[in-house]
Amino acid sequence: MLRSFFLLFVPSFVFAQQRTIDVGKDNVSPVRDGLFYTVAGTPFSPYKYVRVVSGSPYFNDDWMKGVVLIPGGGRAKSDQVKLDLISGELLYKDSTEKEFIATTPVQQLVLTDPASGKEYVFVNSSFLDLPGKEAAPGWYQLLEPGTATLYKKIKKTISESRPFNSATTEQTINTTNQYLLAFNRLLTVVKKPKDIPAVLTDKKVQLDQYIGSNKFNGKTDTDFSSVIAYYNSLAAK
């Protein structure tokens, strides 16, 4: 489902640092020879996380293929992208293999694992259609779109310690996952699949039965996304 939806914005764009193009102008053609949309960036310091002894700040330590949607309709892609989930920064490499941090606002990001081809879709909190400041700043992984939308917030925190007789402070990065259900423009944390029917009350009986018969325990993303997909199928009838 997500693959077919996001293939809508995969025309040939690349990250570049050389010039700026107004992506909101109608006369900018995405297929014109030599035209590249720009995602402006600042140099990235490779020494930012040199003291990390456990864990990772990134969604994936390996560089992944990435496609971004920029406010105003602009799109860009790169074969080497990383998402820093501590700082919220989007990293990319230019044609000379130099690392940069994207400074252009990014609305949506699709990362593709080059080995498996699996896609991961992220939405920046600034562009979630929610009232006020319901969503904590950062990136939300889109697991299931529809009338009810399921997101996962991958939360990473750094703890520091200094080993005995050592002058160096070591960093450990811990990762926890939080599942959030967006429905009627409200965002609700769901700790387990059994919490979902209390939010989607119009189909509570069917959802309770579906969760019980499938014995979803919430140990995987699929446990949550399957329930939301089932609800959306009921809501579409």
Helix (H) or strand (E) holding 157: strand 149-161
How many beta carbons lie within 10 A of that of residue 37, not counting itself?
22
Residues 110, 132 share a domain: no
Question: What percent helix, strand, coil does the chain show, rounded to 5?
Answer: 20, 35, 45
Residues 178, 217 share a domain: yes
CA-based nearest residue to 125, from 145, 144, 104, 106: 106
Domain boundary at 66, 101, 124, which?
124
Give how many domains the chain has, as a whole number: 2
Q: What pTM was estimated for this model as a whole? A: 0.79
Residues 4, 120 share a domain: yes
Residues 93, 186 share a domain: no
Residues 187, 103 share a domain: no
Domain boundary at 124, 149, 183, which?
124
Domain boundary at 109, 124, 139, which?
124
Residues 221, 158 share a domain: yes
Residues 119, 6 share a domain: yes
| Ramachandran angles phi, psi of 224, nearest 5° | -75, -50
d(CA 56, CA 154): 12
What is the extent of the structural domain holding 133?
128-237
Residues 224, 145 share a domain: yes
pLDDT, averaged in runs of 10, over the chain (237 residues): 36 30 31 34 68 91 91 84 94 84 89 92 89 79 96 93 81 95 93 97 97 96 98 95
C-beta of residue 180 within 8 angstroms of C-beta of residue 150:
yes
- 37-60 pLDDT, tens digit per residue, is 345 567 666 667 878 889 999 999
Residues 25, 2 share a domain: yes
d(CA 119, CA 132): 30
The pair of structure tokens assigned to 48 is 């930012």
Residues 134, 107 share a domain: no
- Residue 53: C-alpha distances to residues 62, 82, 163, 174 (Å): 17, 19, 12, 11
